[in-house]
Amino acid sequence: MSQTTYTVAIVGMGKRGTHHATAFHNNPRFQVVGVCDIDVSRLEKAAAGLENPVTSTDADDLLSRVKPDVLCFCTLPSQRLEFIKLGVAHGVKLIAYEKPMALSTNEALEIMQCVREAGVKTVVSHQHRYGEHYQKVKEIIASGALGRVHTVYGTATGWMMHMMTHLIDYIRWFNEEAEAEWVMGPMYTPLLIILRVSSSSPTACGGWWRQGPELPTCPRLTIGGASVV
């Protein structure tokens, strides 16, 4: 039985967008039908390496023209909701995009509402899970070779939105996706209304939080960082 081939358009042809586009291009299940970037030189360079699909400097225009099954966007973290809404408006089946999922709780909730109502699937790039190195760590912990693991610290260089969602993802994964019991975080975010403990220390810039019974409809969100399990 032949497998479906999905058409895909990629927006943001920087470092990540080029990686994604190359991977789609090399996968026989996908056909790269369009690429977009506001930077014309990046756009042309990327298109040349992808057998010259349709190009545009405007994502709305590109999606109107190529009507892809999949929208993949790799723009900066401040640009999430707008491209989610754009993909939904153009009837794509799946939106693949880069971490962080959103820059705020409200934005994340709006994204979830938007894609759920439209029945559109999404996937956020936490690709290291699929790497042999991280899978080996998971395997060692799960085997019990280290004994009972009661603390996992996640640290990274770089800015918070660059690595923090990766850290949360690994820590939850290594800990059998356990639900958080408590959380701490910085004082300057509205997220604190659901936090039990807070700290102004710059080293405590993130943590786990728990969905309390008083907030039954509040989903778990991967915002902030974590060092405590």
Ligand X SMILES: NC(=O)c1ccc[n+]([C@@H]2O[C@H](COP(=O)([O-])OP(=O)(O)OC[C@H]3O[C@@H](n4cnc5c(N)ncnc54)[C@H](O)[C@@H]3O)[C@@H](O)[C@H]2O)c1
Which span (2-10, 13-21, 132-140, 180-188) binds ligand X, by CB under 6 A? 13-21
Q: Which residue has the tokens 């899978």?
A: 135
Taking the least distance from each CB to ligand X, the nearer of 159 and 188 is 159
- The reply to whether 42 sits near ligand X by the rule CB under 6 A is yes
Do 176 and 169 contact (CB within 8 A), yes or no? no
Q: Which residue has the tokens 């991967």?
A: 222
**Dihedral over Cα of 77, 81, 83, 87: its sign:** positive
Residues 46-85 that bind ligand X (CB under 6 A): 59, 74-77, 79
* Sequence-ordered strand ranges (E) for the chain: 6-11, 30-36, 54-56, 70-73, 94-98, 121-125, 184-185, 197-198
Give the number of residues in contact with ligand X, rule: CB under 6 A: 23
Which span (9-17, 21-29, 108-116, 190-198) binds ligand X, by CB under 6 A? 9-17
Q: CB 94 → ligand X: shortest distance, Å?
A: 17
Q: CB 40 → ligand X: shortest distance, Å?
A: 10
Do 16 and 37 contact (CB within 8 A), yes or no? no
Question: Virtual CA dihedral for 27, 28, 30, 35, nearest 10 degrees?
Answer: 60
Q: Which residue has the tokens 């807070």?
A: 198
Nearest residue (beta carbon) to ligand X: 14
Q: CB 196 → ligand X: shortest distance, Å?
A: 29
Interacting residue ranges for ligand X, rule: CB under 6 A: 11-17, 36-39, 42, 59, 74-77, 79, 98-99, 125, 127, 162
